């Protein structure tokens, strides 16, 4: 099913992001966690792949498995990295052949060790170019990403929204935000993009902090800020893993409830291939 069709019947969607297991042991853990999350009947799931296009083959195998063996409506991530037009055509024909109807289209991160994105010959410089190509040549439902505190490479939030409008106009059906921890940024962002003429659904992307060491990694990953309330709690419990975990979960539950009460059209959980936190938060909602 196309997720754009799902929106007709579901005012709110709840979804999960996965990435392909890297080895046999993590594959076992992944299977257990997917089993736990399946019983929550998510609206859809997404599958990403590593920087520089690494794990793309495993991503394709996993979306095939989740869509056709497990029966989940599955979104395949696809980026501009190493993607010539010939490769895009070949890859997307394959995804269509295994019943994938939904794509998350991104520029993607540079390969490990590179500081700047360099498009391939006969490839795409921006996500908007990839989106436009897919829109003109294929029949997928197309999702895109947005940064509510601006993309790290943008000079300002206004410049970022102007670029986002180009991306949406290229053929996107809906947006999922990068992770964030302060809801006022989400609500302010939605007001600004609506004023700019962007009308599609904007689903907040949420990740629970379950250990103190995650703070630096998450903020560096997305450029997002950690609210003082959450940071103070985590710092006070940083030597107690159980209390740190619970403080992070409690905060995320409150965050999700506030988002839904404020009109957010669902929640997209960045699971990190773990089920415990996502299950606790989801069930509390």
| Residues acting as catalytic residues | 17
Measure the CA–CA gap between 174 and 145, rounded to whole angstroms. Answer: 9
Q: Per the structure block, which two tokens stand in for 66?
A: 């989740």
Name all contacts of 161-169 with Cβ < 8 Å and 24+ positions apart. Answer: 161/192, 161/193, 161/196, 161/198, 162/196, 163/126, 163/128, 164/193, 164/196, 164/198, 165/193, 165/196, 165/197, 165/198, 166/128, 167/126, 167/127, 167/128, 167/131, 168/144, 168/198, 168/200
CA pseudo-torsion sign 167, 169, 172, 178: positive
- φ, ψ of residue 259 in degrees (nearest 5): -60, -45
């Amino acid at each position: 099913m196309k997720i754009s069709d799902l929106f007709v019947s579901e005012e709110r969607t709840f979804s999960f992001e996965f990435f392909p297991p890297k080895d046999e042991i993590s594959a076992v853990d992944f299977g257990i966690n997917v089993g736990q999350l399946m019983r929550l009947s998510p609206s859809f799931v997404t599958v990403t792949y590593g920087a520089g296009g690494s794990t793309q083959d495993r991503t394709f195998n996993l979306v095939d498995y989740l869509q056709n063996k497990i029966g989940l409506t599955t979104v395949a991530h696809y980026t501009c990295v190493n993607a010539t037009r010939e490769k895009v055509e070949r890859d997307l024909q394959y995804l269509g052949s295994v019943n994938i109807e939904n794509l998350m289209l991104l520029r993607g991160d540079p390969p490990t060790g590179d500081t700047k994105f360099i498009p391939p010959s006969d490839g795409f410089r921006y996500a908007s170019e990839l989106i436009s190509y897919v829109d003109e040549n294929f029949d997928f439902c197309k999702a895109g990403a947005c940064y509510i505190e601006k993309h790290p490479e943008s000079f300002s939030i206004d410049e970022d929204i102007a670029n986002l409008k180009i991306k949406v106009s290229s053929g996107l059906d809906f947006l999922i935000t990068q992770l964030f921890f302060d809801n006022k940024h989400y609500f302010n962002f939605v007001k600004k993009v609506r004023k700019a003429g962007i009308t599609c659904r904007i689903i907040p992307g949420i990740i629970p902090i379950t250990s103190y060491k995650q703070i630096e990694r998450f903020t560096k990953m997305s450029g997002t800020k950690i609210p003082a309330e959450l940071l103070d709690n985590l710092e006070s419990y940083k030597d107690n893993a159980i209390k740190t975990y619970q403080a992070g979960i409690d905060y995320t539950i409150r965050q999700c409830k506030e988002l839904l009460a404020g009109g957010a059209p669902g929640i997209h959980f960045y699971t990190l291939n773990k089920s415990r936190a996502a299950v606790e938060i989801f069930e509390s909602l």
